[in-house]
Amino acid sequence: MRFLLRSKIHKATVTDANVDYVGSITIDKDLMDKVGFWAGEKVLITDNTNGARVETYIIAGAKGSGTICINGAAAHLIKKGDEVIIMGFELDDEPIKPRIILVDKQNKFVKYL
């Protein structure tokens, strides 16, 4: 069994960072649906702006909002305006084809990669 990349939102822009929230990342539900993310799912977030890497869980944001909000302690590392990659993984014993999307600066879907 291996951990394999299953889902990825590439080059998203953080729209807000709220250190006072109890943790997690809020993601526009439309983007979640495009890559197959679930609310409560553990994800790895890498910050292209400063190199930070954090793991947290997903909260669904409003559809079509473009929301990518870093909540809780992670907001000390990842700030509003930072460019991030959000990845979900799956434990499997066979290769899988990941669902990867590219978004624009307003976190609107551009294309599947």
The catalytic site residues sit at 24, 57
Reference 45, options 100, 8, 20; nearest CA is 8
Give every CB contact of residue 62 below 8 A, 6+ residues apart in sequence. 28, 29
Reference 15, options 58, 65, 55; nearest CA is 65
Q: How far is CA 13 from the centre of its chain?
A: 10
Q: How far apart are CA 44 and CA 14, in angstroms?
A: 14
